[in-house]
Structures are given as C-alpha cells and as structure tokens.
Amino acid sequence: MGVITSFKRNFSDLFKKLFNKQNARIGIYGPPNAGKTTLANRILRDWTGDAMGSVSNVAHETRRARRREGVTINTNGSSITLDIIDTPGLATKIDFHEFMEQGMDEAESKRRAKEATEGVIEAVKWLENLDGVILVMDATEDPFTQVNVTVIGNMEARDLPLLIVANKVDLPEASPSTIRDAFPQHPMVSISALEGKNIETFYEELAKRFG
C-alpha cells in the first residue's frame, strides 16, 4: 500500500472518529428471489469473511432485514466503508398457498406468509433511512415489476443514488440489456452473485456511486 493511500485512510478514519461521521447506509432491495441475500453474502464473504444469511429457492427466505455495519471495500486504490442492509423481498401480494405448492404444510405456510408480510413492511420502512440503494433484478425476468418501479421512484424522489444490479447472468436466458433499456437513466452492472462473475466491476461501481 502506498504511503499516500495509507495516509488518506488514516486521516479519513481520524476524521470519522473526531466528527462521528456515520457510514453510508446502503439497502439491498428487489423482488423476492432476485438474489439479494446471495449478493449480500458475496459482499460480506469478499470483504469480511462472514455471511449475511441463508438463501433458498423458496420466495421470502429473508423475512427480517439484516444490517452489517462498517463493511470496507477496497477497489481501484480507493476505499469505502458502508453499512449494508439486506432487506426482505418487496411484494404487493402474499398468498400462503404459494408456499404450500413448495411442499410446506398449511400451518408452516401461513406462518411464513405472516412473517413475509412483516418483512415487506420492514423493508418499506427502511427506505426512509437509507443513503442509497442497490436494486437487484433477476435478469431472466421482466424488469418492469411494480416493486422495481416503486423503489426507483422513491430513490428519484429523494434524489438518492441507485445502482441497478442485473443478477443471474450465469443463466442462459438472462437478458441484462432488457434491464438497461428499461431504466437507462440509472447505472447498471451485470453480475452473477452466485458465481462471482463480473463482481470486480460491481465493486468499482459501488465505490463510484456510494463513495
């Protein structure tokens, strides 16, 4: 590490301690099953050696928002420290029958549906307490979902930075260009959070947008 870089980092840490500056709070948002927790796990494993939460193919696996404070990301000679909030998948409807179709019994499905509704409320409330959003979209799905439109609208209304992530580009049917065409006014990066494809570009964009 260069002397100047080291000096800059130490000065930045000192400045934060002196003035109690908070890290930027960045929320990971998106519809259920877009890969939000997979991305959160990828970020934490790469920079802290830890993980955020469990993932599964069943929607609404994450039903409580999870926050990890002080995640430092070093990329291209610069460094940013963020508080990362992994939020439950946003939805406008939750039907417990859909969990039963995944093999859960009725009681378990109803409990999961109830927790999922609470998770959505928590995710909506977090929107008011963030400094920026990483909006994760499944690149194999139609990007014009109401969840995406609402999250983007809220960030635009608050004039807060947004980074769109076209996830699951490891799948042959992925079409990140559809997402880029849908929301051309915002920066987008195509990745596979699962396989780590293009993850360095993601970190560079992250530093650019939220640094």
User: What is the side-by-side order of every strand in the sheet holding 188-190?
Assistant: 66-75, 78-86, 24-29, 132-138, 162-167, 188-190
Question: Are residues 39 and 136 in contact, defined by beta-carbon separation less than 8 angstroms?
Answer: yes
Binding mask 138-177 for other proteins (x = CB under 8 A): ----x-xxx--xx-xxx-xx--------------------
Tell me which stretch binds other proteins (CB under 8 A): 20-28, 74-82, 181-189, 202-210: 181-189
Residues 42, 57: Cα–Cα separation, whole Å: 17
Q: CB of 66: closest distance to other proteins in angstroms?
A: 19
What separation in angstroms does the CA of 147 have from each of 32, 142, 144? 10, 12, 8
Nearest approach in angstroms of CB 152 to other proteins is 7
Residue 120 binds other proteins (CB under 8 A) = yes
Question: Which of residues 43, 52, 55, 90 is near other proteins by CB under 8 A?
Answer: 90
Q: Which residues pair with 24 in a beta bridge?
A: 82
Please state the closest distance from residue 133 (CB atom) to other proteins, in A.
12
Positions 18 through 37 that interact with other proteins (CB under 8 A): none
Nearest-10 crossing angle of helices 199-210, 36-47: 90
Which residues of this protein are in contact with other proteins, per CB under 8 A? 90-96, 110, 113-114, 117-118, 120-121, 124-125, 127, 142, 144-146, 149-150, 152-154, 156-157, 182-183, 185
